[in-house]
Amino acid sequence: MGFTLASIVRGHAADRPDDEAVVCGDDRLSWAELDGRSSRVGSALLADGLGPGDRIAVLARNTTTFFELAFGCAKAGVVLVSLNWRLTAAELADVLHDADPAFVVADADLAGAVGGGLRVLRLGDPYDAWRDAAPADDPDVALAPDDLAYVLYSSGTTGRPKGVPITHANLALSERMAREAFRMDEGTVHMCPGPQFHIAGAGTGLMAMFLGARTVVLREITPRILLETIAREGVTHAFMVPAIVQAVVDAPELADHDVSSLRQISYGAAPMTEALLRRAMTALGCTFLGVYGMTETAGTVVTLDPDDHDPDGPRAGLLRSVGTPLPWIELQVRDLASGEEAAPGVVGEICVRSGQNTPGYWRQPETTARAIDEDGWLRTGDGAHRDEDGYVFLRDRIKDMIISGGENVYPAEVENALATHPDVADVAVIGVPHERWGETVKAVVVLQPGGTADAETLRAHARTLLAGYKCPTSVEVVAGLPRNPTGKVLKKVLRETYAAGASVAEVR
């Protein structure tokens, strides 16, 4: 039958039933408890008439329940759709319409955001009663490795939600990844504060579980909570986006907490400045692992090994690299004009082929055909070059995607929202550098003749249509946007101008 997610919990419940599997605050589950709960979830799903290929969704902040749902779905052959709870009601409605789940499991305070007559099972007493009414016998529905485990969503460049299916086989390499790249073992305590609607939480969060080690998830993320958790749980490994690394390094509480248990921090999802990396290595006293990947690759495909983090050595320039592909990953940087593999030093598009690649976008065959060629190569949309030794250096993102604090923001979606304001005649959205978030969203707007909207008015308008992290943190009103002869907005000019601190008057 091959590997499925259910194999993880079944094996460790038999071998180490009393060892802790996952912790979130005061909620602590052993492998036996997680196995039993997930079997009840699987049985309850079957009793509700669901089966292989059907979907349920979860709309919740980080919780141990996510894993009992993930393993329970796997035991029943059901697909888990993890929803971004930061979306607006309209954005969430689009995703739910596309995913078409049988019902939604939701935090009580988020349940009201689910509309359209969908059944909502609130976490707490209602969910516990539903689960515990089912037998604890493992449903053991037959699955193939290529069957779906998850569908995770990211907004498309046009604003249409894109579901990314993740198969059980896509996740099967996580055990090897945990041992070889992340240097984990059975004694690891892995803290994964990434949201469980991201591959960082839903995929990276599984790695220690493959080894039977302990996983620590956080419902809230503040420097104090992070530091308290590291000290209390004896965290050895952690995955953090650069914004969280900076918050921890800057926190006055750092001096008051024992973080000596830390062996390694992996970082990714957004650019890490060399200056911050140097500070973090000194302040936290552990090794660092740079990672590059995406939802479509089920997580990490390129790593900058701890041995390559040598800020004062002869290869210090590697701190600007995301590293080299994992041994089982095929990676090419393809020339944008010819489509052939680019020579070292030449910028092209990163393309990846591996068993981790998604089979394609959910219910979007045309989008899939554009992204994955007939030979199985996935176009990432990320620009990069490689050096003579094969190290990958990211450059401008081909799709103009903005990454702010680890969140993906697509300019077209923000532009479409701002363009609905009656005073807006033209708009371009770019990412500009931000000390804490890596990048932040900036809108450059041309008003209609007679338009009077100011920056705050336009930001307020965006907040009614978009999740907060997608909204511009600054808006510049200008007379016109720079364009090439065919009329395309020259976003590179805008990025260079605002990054350099030029005045608005110079942008034409």
- Among 274, 304, 321, identify where a domain stops: 321
Please indicate, yes or no, whether residues 40 and 91 belong to a single structural domain of this protein.
yes
* pLDDT exceeds 70 at position 42: yes
Residue pLDDT, tens place only, 301-310: 999 999 999 9
The predicted pLDDT at position 2 comes to: 82
pLDDT tier at 91 (50, 70, 90 boundaries)?
confident
Percent of the chain with pLDDT over 90: 75
pLDDT tier at 320 (50, 70, 90 boundaries)?
confident
End-to-end Cα, the chain, rounded Å: 61
The predicted pLDDT at position 339 comes to: 92
Please indicate, yes or no, whether residues 1 and 122 belong to a single structural domain of this protein.
yes
* pLDDT exceeds 50 at position 507: no
The predicted pLDDT at position 359 comes to: 98
Bridge-based pairing state of the strands 474-477 and 438-447: parallel
Q: How far is 265 from 245, CA to CA, in rounded Å?
A: 9
* pLDDT exceeds 60 at position 157: no
Please indicate, yes or no, whether residues 389 and 361 belong to a single structural domain of this protein.
yes
* pLDDT exceeds 80 at position 228: yes
* pLDDT exceeds 70 at position 50: yes
State the average pLDDT over residues 176-191: 97
Distance of alpha carbon 352 from the chain centroid: 18
Q: How far is 133 from 348, CA to CA, in rounded Å?
A: 55
Please indicate, yes or no, whether residues 335 and 431 belong to a single structural domain of this protein.
no
The predicted pLDDT at position 337 comes to: 84
Q: Are 475 and 459 in contact (CB under 8 A)?
A: yes
Q: How far is 249 from 422, CA to CA, in rounded Å?
A: 44
Please indicate, yes or no, whether residues 414 and 492 belong to a single structural domain of this protein.
yes
Please indicate, yes or no, whether residues 145 and 14 belong to a single structural domain of this protein.
yes
Please indicate, yes or no, whether residues 187 and 129 belong to a single structural domain of this protein.
no
Q: For 277, how many CA atoms within 13 A lie in the half-sphere containing its CB?
A: 27
How many domains does the chain fold into? Answer: 4
State the average pLDDT over residues 344-351: 93
**Looking at per-residue confidence, does 434 or 50 come out higher?**
50
377 DSSP assignment: P
pLDDT tier at 434 (50, 70, 90 boundaries)?
confident
Please indicate, yes or no, whether residues 60 and 114 belong to a single structural domain of this protein.
yes
The CATH number of residue 107's host domain is 3.40.50.12780
Tokens 């900036």 belong to which residue? 442
The CATH number of residue 500's host domain is 3.30.300.30
State the average pLDDT over residues 54-63: 97
The CATH number of residue 333's host domain is 2.30.38.10
Q: Which domain, by its residues, includes 180?
A: 173-321
Please indicate, yes or no, whether residues 357 and 336 belong to a single structural domain of this protein.
yes
The predicted pLDDT at position 269 comes to: 76
State the average pLDDT over residues 218-241: 96
Return mean pLDDT, the chain. Answer: 91
Of 107-111, 182-186, 480-484, the poorest mean pLDDT is in: 480-484
**Looking at per-residue confidence, does 238 or 411 come out higher?**
238
Task: Say which residues have a Cβ less than 8 Å from residue 343's Cβ, sequence separation at least 6.
Answer: none
* pLDDT exceeds 80 at position 64: yes
Neighbours of 36 (CB within 10 A): 21
- Among 151, 167, 183, identify where a domain stops: 167
Report CA Rg, the chain.
23
DSSP letter string, 40-91: HHHHHHHHTT--TT-EEEEE-SS-THHHHHHHHHHHHTPEEEE--TTS-HHH
pLDDT tier at 484 (50, 70, 90 boundaries)?
low
Residue pLDDT, tens place only, 165-181: 999 999 999 999 999 99
Bridge-based pairing state of the strands 392-397 and 378-386: antiparallel
The CATH number of residue 227's host domain is 3.40.50.980
Please indicate, yes or no, whether residues 271 and 353 belong to a single structural domain of this protein.
no
Please indicate, yes or no, whether residues 407 and 393 belong to a single structural domain of this protein.
no
Please indicate, yes or no, whether residues 344 and 391 belong to a single structural domain of this protein.
yes
pTM confidence score? 0.84
State the average pLDDT over residues 265-274: 81
- Among 321, 346, 364, identify where a domain stops: 321
The predicted pLDDT at position 506 comes to: 32
Q: Are 360 and 375 in contact (CB under 8 A)?
A: no
Q: Are 412 and 159 in contact (CB under 8 A)?
A: yes
The predicted pLDDT at position 15 comes to: 97
Tell which residue, 35, 73, 36, has the closest CA to residue 56. Answer: 73
State the average pLDDT over residues 254-273: 90
